A and B are shown apart, each in its own frame.
Chain A
């Protein structure tokens, strides 16, 4: 719901970590319990990054389902689409969320530096690196 403002945080972190390099892909890990709609985030990113040094970069989302671990029987249960925070094994409700709350940038994929290509001897590097960064994403 607040994807637009979250894009500002993503831009800040990405700009700092890229240190002037051209960003091609921003890899993110987003848990189910974060209430972020990946498609909306990707769309908002196009709006926020346009006319900035990050224009043309795209967000790639690794979506992590929510899972709970039972403190009684230690069984791990997937919470599911309609969330049920109870152990599927024993029905216990004393559970701990073990995944689904992630919300981070895991890595950045940067365009090759011209100097990097010199010693590689692979003529396709440059073209492959540039690709078509402006195209849509499948997230």
Chain B
């Protein structure tokens, strides 16, 4: 089935249905030396000419016969995904469950983790991978609560990244005694966009979402909300003081992720934290 669409520059073209699975296979032929005639066929069959209103648009012939098009079909995140698979294999071999915890800055991930360690620390052996662009402030807050903590500062050799990726998490693994742990919680960098893009080898993803963030965020950040099996709706103790429309939020969430489980929590008062801990424990 062909698909026709317009670009911002006003040009338009159609392309065949793209199955996301087609990105998974590899072409190990290296640089395939397309003959000039082959290159011409490819150039007219794909969109590059139409997408760019430069002097070459509509003149594929001169361009294609002069240059050469080589097929690549290589995923941008291929290396990350291979490392994520290695992490996942190591977690499985150690028998440890791994939850990737994501949220915007200030939603309450660290406070919730603190309450989690206080409640679960005597029952489960827990490791924390703490991602922050700068500082050890979050790791310091969690120190002394009985968990093994490995801090990753993404501003430290990782270019100030706005997310954790699989190689960063891998770099933290030697600092955790995986075979001695039951559960590893990865506290991702506070950000509703980038962390959703990177598989780090986790078993499942959970989000902490504060009622102070408004109802519309699932529609603005659908990729993040879609990627999570659980959404912890935090700071519900503030509801009497806010105009937050809970039904509206839940409707927006269902619009992008109808399967997500939802827990109402206040890390501050402790409401719902036991249910969160049960969810984590059941994930063993």
Contacts and interface: CB of A to CB of B under 8 A. Distances in A.
Contact of A128 (B7, B30, B62): B62
Interface string B15-48: 1011110010000001100001000001100111
Contact of B194 (A2, A104, A116): A2
Contacts of A116: 36, 68
Interface in A31-77: 31, 33-35, 39, 60-65
Contact of A106 (B65, B71, B193): B71
Interface stretch (B123-131, B173-181, B251-259, B267-275): B251-259
Interface residues of B, number: 63
A39 B42 CA distance: 24
Contact of A109 (B18, B48, B162): B48
A86 interface: yes
A118 to B, nearest CB: 12
Contacts of A86: 255, 258
A90 interface: no
A125 B11 contact: no
Given A33-B222, A85-B257, 17 more contacts: A5-B159, A9-B77, A12-B79, A18-B70, A34-B197, A64-B15, A83-B219, A83-B222, A86-B255, A106-B71, A109-B43, A110-B67, A125-B65, A128-B56, A128-B63, A128-B66, A131-B63
Contacts of A105: 72-74, 76
Contacts of B30: 17, 19
Contact of A62 (B19, B51, B69, B72): B51
B48 A60 contact: yes
A107 B66 contact: no
Interface string A90-131: 000100011111111111111111001100101011111111
A139 B7 CA distance: 8
Contact of A104 (B8, B46, B76, B222): B76
Nearest to A26: B72
Nearest to A129: B66
B163 A13 contact: no
Contact of B68 (A29, A35, A102, A110): A110
B11 to A, nearest CB: 7
Contacts of A5: 159, 161
B5 to A, nearest CB: 7
B31 A97 contact: no
A85 B162 contact: no
Nearest to A12: B79
9 contacts: A9-B76, A18-B70, A39-B8, A62-B15, A62-B51, A85-B257, A103-B76, A107-B42, A107-B46
Contacts of A135: 54
A101 B20 contact: yes
A1 B162 contact: yes
B193 A64 contact: no
B18 A107 contact: no
A25 interface: yes
Nearest to A28: B76
A62 to B, nearest CB: 5
Nearest to A58: B52
A105 B74 CA distance: 5
Given A60-B51, A60-B52, A138-B9, A2 B66 contact: no
B104 interface: no
A112 B68 CA distance: 6
